[in-house]
């Protein structure tokens, strides 16, 4: 349930809000819904990872990967746009996972 909420909200908000809003979304979702630390981390990680992967695919496939191929040339990685997709989704997933973990741990601190 937490994974689905983070996935839908981060996907929807990524169109008109800054990228760092995923951290606030994951934090608040885990604060109100999260139960365990491990499950909250993986829900935040998975939700943002999947959302950012879909967003990258929606942006790069229609233009034949032109911008992604130019950006990947700046980094010392194999020259394929899939690596850029994975790195972008991994960074977003880590932000979402750590935010969700922070949310559930904050909930445990405030719990009487």
pTM given for the model: 0.90
Exposed, middle or buried: residue 53 (CB in 10 Å: 0-12, 13-18, 19+)?
middle
20-71 pLDDT tens trace: 999 999 999 999 999 999 999 999 999 999 999 999 999 998 998 888 888 8
User: CA-CA distances (angstroms) from residue 75 to 35, 80, 94?
Assistant: 39, 11, 20
Count the domains in the chain: 1
Cα–Cα distance between 45 and 90 in angstroms, integer?
Answer: 8
Q: What is the pLDDT of residue 107?
A: 95
| Residue 78 pLDDT level (bands cut at 50, 70, 90) | confident
Could you tell me the residue range of the domain that residue 31 belongs to? Answer: 2-110
Check the CA dihedral 16-21-24-30 and report its sign.
Answer: positive
Q: What is the pLDDT of residue 15?
A: 87
87-106 pLDDT tens trace: 999 999 999 999 999 999 99
Q: What is the pLDDT of residue 103?
A: 96
């Amino acid at each position: 349930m937490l994974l689905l909420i983070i996935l839908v909200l981060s996907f929807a908000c990524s169109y008109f809000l800054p990228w760092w809003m995923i951290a606030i979304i994951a934090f608040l979702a885990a604060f109100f819904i999260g139960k365990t630390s491990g499950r909250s981390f993986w829900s935040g990680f998975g939700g943002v990872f999947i959302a950012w992967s879909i967003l990258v695919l929606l942006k790069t496939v229609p233009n034949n990967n032109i911008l992604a191929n130019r950006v990947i040339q700046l980094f010392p990685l194999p020259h394929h746009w899939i690596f850029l997709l994975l790195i972008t989704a991994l960074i977003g997933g880590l932000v979402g996972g750590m935010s969700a973990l922070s949310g559930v741990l904050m909930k445990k601190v405030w719990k009487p």
